[in-house]
Amino acid sequence: MKKLLTIAGCAWMITVLPSCGGNDQPGRAYAPDMVYSRAYETYGSTEDIAKAGAYYNERPVPGTVARGDAFPYPLKHDSIGYAQSATYRNPLSPDSINMKEAERLYLINCAICHGSKLDGNGPLFNGGDGPYTAAPKNFMDAAMKEMTEGTMFHSVTYGKGQMGSYASQLNTKQRWMVIAYIKSKQGGAAGAAAPAAKDSAAATTPAPAPAAAGAMAPVAAK
């Protein structure tokens, strides 16, 4: 009996004790391509990518539309595009615009220069006492009231004068919402000039007939 126990004890030591020590080779991996995956530098330098024979400039493919964004603005950033923008209409219908949200976007992005009252007297100018010496545009001026929504959108998209582009801060829909908010505030004191300007713009707009008719509906109601 004692001999049998000795043999069993030795067998146990031979089979169990080796597993308690350090083992540099634990055995084969069931899925080695997952256990030892090859690392990829997702945001690696473009120089390394170019050396590998691939072209990558970190920009989206031309014509790409971000998920949930409106159709891209087609006019170019040149004198011709600026002139054509006067006939471009806001693609958002008035009843689809949340004016409270549009006001919030204006106050965050525009009021610091143009003022919460749209009078061009924001904190950065502050009557000439602010850090900016050039007075921002006063949206309540007659010239700004007569400016079409398309020209305003063009200026916000590409920048105009001392103002830079806001295309990276506001997507296409948000920019149109801000323009609609500005026009809604101008409308109370704009008199008959604004509808007349819209009528003349609608007469030359290259937009399809259904879209133009839909855009003109609020004007006709007045």
Residue 30 lies in a domain: no
Q: In this predicted model, what pLDDT tens digit does every residue of 180-204 receive, in sequence order?
A: 999 999 984 333 333 433 443 333 3
Output the domain CATH number for residue 95: 1.10.760.10
Expressed as residue numbers, the domain containing 103 is 79-203
**pLDDT of 216 over the 50 cut:** no
Residue 172 lies in a domain: yes
pLDDT computed for residue 119 by the predictor: 94
Residue 84 lies in a domain: yes
pLDDT computed for residue 195 by the predictor: 41
Residue 118 lies in a domain: yes
Q: In this predicted model, what pLDDT tens digit does every residue of 151-174 receive, in sequence order?
A: 999 999 999 988 999 999 999 999
Residue 54 lies in a domain: no
- Burial (0-12, 13-18, 19+ Cβ within 10 Å), 125: buried
Residue 188 lies in a domain: yes
pLDDT computed for residue 98 by the predictor: 96
pLDDT computed for residue 70 by the predictor: 77
pLDDT computed for residue 185 by the predictor: 95
- How many domains, in total, are found in the chain? 1
Q: Two tokens at 41?
A: 């530098």
60: confidence class by pLDDT, cuts 50, 70, 90: confident
Residue 123 exposure: Cα atoms within 13 Å on the Cβ side: 6
Place of tokens 């309540």: 140
Residue 17 lies in a domain: no
Comparing 200 with 118, the larger pLDDT belongs to 118
Q: What long-range pairs does 97-100 form, CB within 8 A, spacing at least 24?
A: 97/176, 97/177, 97/180, 98/177, 99/180, 99/181, 99/184
Comparing 95 with 63, the larger pLDDT belongs to 95
